A and B are shown apart, each in its own frame.
Chain A
Amino acid sequence: MSSNSGLESTIDQVLERNSSEFSQSLKNSLTDAQKTLSDSLPMLEEEYEKIISDGKKEADKIEKQIVGSADLQARNKALLIVQESADKVLEKAKEKISNMDRNSEYSSLITKLLTEATSALDTSDVIVFTNSKDKDVVQSAVSNISGAELSNDLIDCMGGVKVTSKDGSMSFDNTIDARIELLKPLIRKDIAAQFNLGN
């Protein structure tokens, strides 16, 4: 009986000691956990801030991308409209020029084009080419320039002349087609301005 009570008291003592150690250990763990938690709070907040700021950055990026691409698409469509309009206007203008009367005003234009061409080549010993419609007008202008000859070969153009030196080494294209081609960017700009498009 006495040996049993001795054993029980020993067990109680061990239990008590372990229990106090255990509760101390629990307390320590709790303190540690609380410390870890409070230490990680600023890190967590920092992380949170970073995630929010990265998210904002990403959102800004996406917004920029969407707005940028929409703006560009709209601008590109306007550009295509300008081009289409410019092409239509030019076509109409070309048609008008092709069918215009070969009157005295036109004759003086041809003379001017011919003089310009011979002066660019720096010689009047030239062969002049033109289309079938302008043949007569050009013939009369050529007859005023000594050394110049009108070729029997016809060229495909709206009007004007193409002049070649007699040795064939130089030529000057002063057809209306060539002049329009030269001025095309400026004509386009004017057309765009008329439609209030472009800049």
Chain B
Amino acid sequence: MSNQGGVQYSKIAEIKGPLVIVDGVDNAAFDELVEIETTEGEKRLGKVLEVGNGKAVVQVFEGTTGLSVSGTNAKFVGKVMEMPVSEQVLGRVFDGLGRAKDGLPEPVADSFLDINGAPMNPEQREYPKDFIQTGVSVIDGMLTLVRGQKLPIFSGSGMSHNILAAQIARQAAIIGTDDSFAVVFAAIGVQYSEAEYFKRSLEESGALKRSVLFLNLADDPAIERIITPRVALTVAEYLAYDLGMHVLVILTDMTNYAEALREISAAREEVPGRKGYPGYLYTDLSTIYERAGRLKGKKGSVTQVPILTMPSDDITHPIPDLTGYITEGQLVLGRDLFRQGVYPPINILMSLSRIMKDGIGEGSTRADHQEISNQNYDAYSRAQEVRALAGIVGKAGLTPVDLNYMNFGDEFEKKFLSQAIDEDRTIEETLGLQWNCVSKLPKNELTKVKDKYVEQYYKE
């Protein structure tokens, strides 16, 4: 930090995109918070990106529109950006920079935390485990979310990812314990109507009381998006590690975050990487995703569900590609299912929850959970093959077993995969539906489940 915060500089050398270059600065620090004051007295926030040779490069979160070289002042505050936190943040709505947006005063802070988060000692990390029930069958049954996990949703433009995100936020719960549960929802660059939908949806379901919303709208300055996930995660960490809550953080849409990063990178004239994104996109994304987890000796946990839209549904695009390296699986929304009107249109064959096995089974969900899930995966994959075959030889050319698999595929999509946007299914209901689907197949086709489970749950 600068020796002493509060010095205001009035020599602005240059304004370049979202950056302001301040002259005559000797002792500013990297990441230091800066208050930019316009000629009209309006104050905007920024942070130091580079210091050296008497100059400081300041990234202005609220954009540089309307700023001029003369008359603009930059006050170096002497600390990094902090988020005031307390239990009172629950039930509140903030903007993308963490300022109250619901017409109420700022919450009375218990402490002020650096938005970049406290570095987690890898030795102190505890392996994610224990089940989070989202009430969405396909997630709970086949792609289970585990406390402390980071499980992104890969979507495409126009698909129902935001509806799914709101449904998860409303319904998510910890089953079988009295531990407190909270949802931190960060909307990054979303439309006003979507932001309103999130807010209303949480209000109407009564889930707002245990939620914190950070809303950065599509028409808010793009640079603000760099901060939104960080303030959201700061609050999540406080609720988890200081108040002992299990916190689910939903970040939508991380593609907008990466776009903002690209904008800054271009303004700084950095050497571009793939598709113009900065070479450090992986490192930067990891500073967000790696804030999920559990710590030894701490009761709470931070679970992340980042949502990103893949440009042109391209899963090899740098954003999903690099996200996939860091996270523990992914839920992929399928365009074909979406077009068929299936909600949620999760393509299970492209999706995976890597640490699902640690959150399910006897004592967490039910002893047959893993096996019935594997059986459904197997059968659905076979159903897809049979459908492809039927496309060539026609239904008449299929064997009776093939027809059984076709029936299974239809039943799976209609009864198990599809559910209403306000339908909250318990894990028992979900597992029951999985058994209903596989019961469309002859018993001898159920090779992934033990006989005792077939005897117990198979429906004749």
Contact = CB atoms under 8 A, between A and B. Distances in A.
A binds B: yes
Interface residues of A, number: 38
Interface residues of B, number: 35
Contacts of B210: 68
Given A172-B7, A188-B108, A75 B24 contact: no
A13 interface: no
Given A76-B104, A79-B108, A173-B6, A64 B206 contact: yes
B443 interface: no
Interface in B10-29: 10-11, 23-24, 26-27
B209 A172 contact: no
Q: Name which of B73, B87, B108 has the most chain A CB atoms within 10 A of its CB.
A: B108
A88 interface: no
A interface SS class = helix
A92 B10 CA distance: 34
Given A119-B4, A169-B24, A171-B8, A75 B109 contact: no
Contacts of B189: none
B197 interface: no
A8 interface: no
A120 B206 CA distance: 50
Contact of B209 (A72, A79, A120, A173): A72
B9 interface: yes
A79 B105 contact: yes
Interface in A67-82: 67-69, 71-72, 75-76, 79-80, 82
B214 to A, nearest CB: 17
A198 B26 CA distance: 41
Q: Name which of A57, A66, A67, A169 has the most chain B CB atoms within 10 A of its CB.
A: A169
Interface in A47-65: 57, 61, 63-65
A185 interface: yes
A68 B208 contact: yes
B68 interface: no
Contacts of B203: 69
B84 interface: yes
B283 interface: no
A52 to B, nearest CB: 14
Given A68-B208, A119-B4, A198 B104 contact: no
Q: Which 9 A-B pairs have the closest CB atoms?
A: A68-B206, A65-B206, A64-B206, A83-B105, A198-B108, A68-B209, A120-B4, A192-B108, A72-B91
Given A122-B26, A192-B108, 12 more contacts: A57-B424, A65-B205, A68-B210, A69-B203, A72-B209, A75-B88, A120-B7, A122-B27, A168-B10, A185-B109, A189-B109, A198-B86
